[in-house]
Amino acid sequence: MSKKEILKALHEKKGEYVSDEELASEGGISLEQVPQEIQWLKDDDYIIEHSSELGYRLIKVSNRLLPYEIQRDLHASYMGVEIHYFKEVDSTNEVAKKLALEGAPEGTIVIAESQSSGKGRLGKKWISPSGGVWMTIILRPDIPPRQAPQLTLVTGVAVAETLSKECGLDVGIKWPNDILIGNKKVSGILTEAITNQELDFVVVGIGIDLNVDLDSFPPELREGATSLKRELDRDIPGVKLVQNFLADFENLYNEFKAGNFPEILAEWRRLSKTIGRQVEVRKRGRVVTGEAVGVNKDGMLILETEDGLRKVISGECIHLNKKH
C-alpha cells in the first residue's frame, strides 16, 4: 500500500523533488524503508532520480499496464476497481475464471503484459507477446445463459468504438467478434460463460494488438493481422486506451443490463464489415457460403444462400468480396 501512496506523492509533484521525510510520511513508513519502496517502483519501470539533498523525483511513468496507473484517471464506477496484474500469465481468461469462482466482484479485471498460453476462439492459440493488451473482465449479469453470447457483441462495439476514437482509421467488426482496421485483424474477443442451470458468471477476454511487433507472429498469421502501432507508425499509450475502453464498456454494459440490447445491436450493425458481403463460414469441416444479410438478436449471422436463408451460430467467417 505504501508503494501506492509514495507513487501518488511523486505523481502530484511530477518533475519536482519530494523529500525522503515527505515520502516516508505519505507512505506511513520509516525513513530507512524509503529506498526499498523506490527500488520496487524502479523494478516496475518507473524512472526516478535521487538527490541526497532534495529527495526523489519522478522522471518518467512506467509504460506497463499497472493497476495503479489504470485506476489513477479511470472514469468508471465499477469496471477496474479490482485489477489483477501479471507481467506474464498463461491466460487471463483462465485466471479470471478462478477468481470468479472464488467470488471476485463484477468488473474485476485480469490484465497481463504477455500470455504464454493465450486462447483464441474455436480452440485456437492466441499469440500474446508484450506490447499488446491482454485482459479479461468478470461479469455477473442477471440474464439467462442463452443471452450470454450477446455480451460478445456488446464488447465488440466497445472495442471498435475505443479503437476508432484512438486512431481515426477505418475500424469495423467482422462477425462474430474480430475487430478489423481495413481488412486486417487488430483485436479479438473470447467470451466464456460458466453455467450451472443458471448463469454463474461470464468472463470476457479481449486481446488488442496495440504496440505488438508483427514479426513475432508466425508468417501465416502476419498477412491478415495488424497492430495500432503498425497503422499509426507510433507507440500508443496502453494505459489511456484501457481507461477509455473500460469507461465506454461500462456505459454500454449498463445499457445492456437496462434492457437496451437492441440499440447496441443497431450500433454493431453500423460497425459491421460483414453485413452486405459475400462470405464463407467454416465450422468443423462444413462450409456455408452466401451473402451476409444481417445478425439476429442472439448474434447469429443470417446468410442468403442458394438454398434460401440460413442462420449460423458460430464458425470462422471469411470475407469473399468487397463490401458494396
Residues 125-164 that bind ligand BTN (CB under 6 A): 126, 128, 134-136
Q: For residues 69-108, which are near ligand BTN according to CB under 6 A? A: 91-93
Closer CB to ligand BTN, residue 121 or residue 273? 121
- Binding residues for ligand BTN, total number by CB under 6 A: 21
Q: What's the closest the beta carbon of residue 75 comes to ligand BTN, in angstroms?
A: 23
Distances (CA, A) of 14 to 7, 8, 81, 304: 10, 10, 24, 59
Least gap, CB of 255 to ligand BTN (angstroms): 23
Q: Which residues contact 73 (CB under 8 A, 6 or more apart)?
A: 243
Residues in contact with ligand BTN, shown as a per-residue x/- string from 235 to 274 under the rule CB under 6 A: ----------------------------------------
Quick check: 119 binds ligand BTN (CB under 6 A)? yes
Cα(54)–Cα(168) distance, rounded to whole angstroms?
44
Q: What are phi and psi of 178, to 5 degrees?
A: -95, 130
Query: What are the DSSP E strand ranges found in the chain?
Result: 47-51, 55-60, 83-89, 109-115, 133-139, 171-174, 178-181, 184-196, 198-208, 278-283, 286-295, 301-305, 308-312, 316-319
Q: How far is the CB of 66 from ligand BTN (least distance, A)?
A: 17
- Distance, in Å, from the CA atom of 85 to the CA atom of 68, rounded to the nearest integer, reads 10
Q: Work out the angle between the directed axes of helices 261-271 and 150-167 (0-180°, nearest 10).
A: 50
Q: Which of 158, 189, 199, 228 binds ligand BTN (CB under 6 A)?
A: 189
Residue 177: CB minimum distance to ligand BTN, A: 6
Site string for ligand BTN, 190-229 (x = CB under 6 A): x--------------xxx----------------------
**From CA 310, how far away is CA 289, in angstroms rounded?**
10
Which residues sit at the interface with ligand BTN, rule CB under 6 A?
91-93, 115, 118-121, 124, 126, 128, 134-136, 178, 188-190, 205-207
